[in-house]
A = this chain, B = another copy of it.
Amino acid sequence: MKPSGDAKPAYIAVATRRFAMDGFYGTSLSHLAKDSGVSKQALLHFFKTKEALYEATLTALAERMMQDLIACHHAEPAQWLSDYFMILCQNACADPTDLRLVMHALLDSDHNARKWPLKPYLDKLLVIIAHTNGGHKMSTAKRINWLLQMNGMINYHIISHTAMLGMYGEQVLADTFNALRSSISAQARLLE
């Protein structure tokens, strides 16, 4: 075959979906191989261990999120954040894969002290927050708190979606999603 790393991103894409659905321990190399249409050892050829493949997946996730943030740049920082999180919410509702992966990674981050690939992304967000009218007079802790609150709100909504759907039905949940959007606006308005 060609000496190109063309297949690698495809394997990472498959792994992203699986790891996001079932977590690190719930996903096996054979599953990933079957999904990718290759043998298990094809994956081990590119990624020396399952752990390495997982880290590559998280790194790709971090780059994607950073790009999404940059993509909706706006001169007014408060508007930038408002736009970004609204779009993030919209995308995550259509496809929760990435946010699920974030949550799984957070829950796993206890017992393996892996370097957290999302740090540049978070730092970028904190810088933008610091440039807003409301944010520049906040302490670092309060900026982090604002961020955790925004992310927590959105992520929790998304990963609760299946459970809430089963409990309270489709119609109520659609309205809840609208309520979430206005909560995002309200949270963003705190920085104006």
Residues of A at the B interface (CB closer than 8 Å) are 21-26, 100, 103-104, 106-107, 109-111, 113, 116, 119, 122, 139-142, 144-145, 148-149, 151-157, 159-160, 162-164, 166-168, 172-176, 178-180, 183
- Nearest neighbor of A163 in chain B, beta-carbon distance: B109
Q: List 17 A-B contacts (CB under 8 A).
A: A22-B111, A23-B25, A25-B25, A106-B159, A106-B163, A107-B107, A109-B163, A113-B166, A122-B167, A141-B174, A144-B179, A145-B183, A148-B157, A149-B156, A152-B152, A152-B156, A156-B156
Q: When chains A and B are docked, how far (Å) is the Cα of A139 from the Cα of B110?
A: 39
Q: Main SS of chain A's interface residues?
A: helix
Which residues of B are found within 8 Å of A21, using beta-carbon distances?
110-111
- Nearest neighbor of A180 in chain B, beta-carbon distance: B145
What is the distance, in angstroms, from A46's C-beta to the closest C-beta of chain B?
24
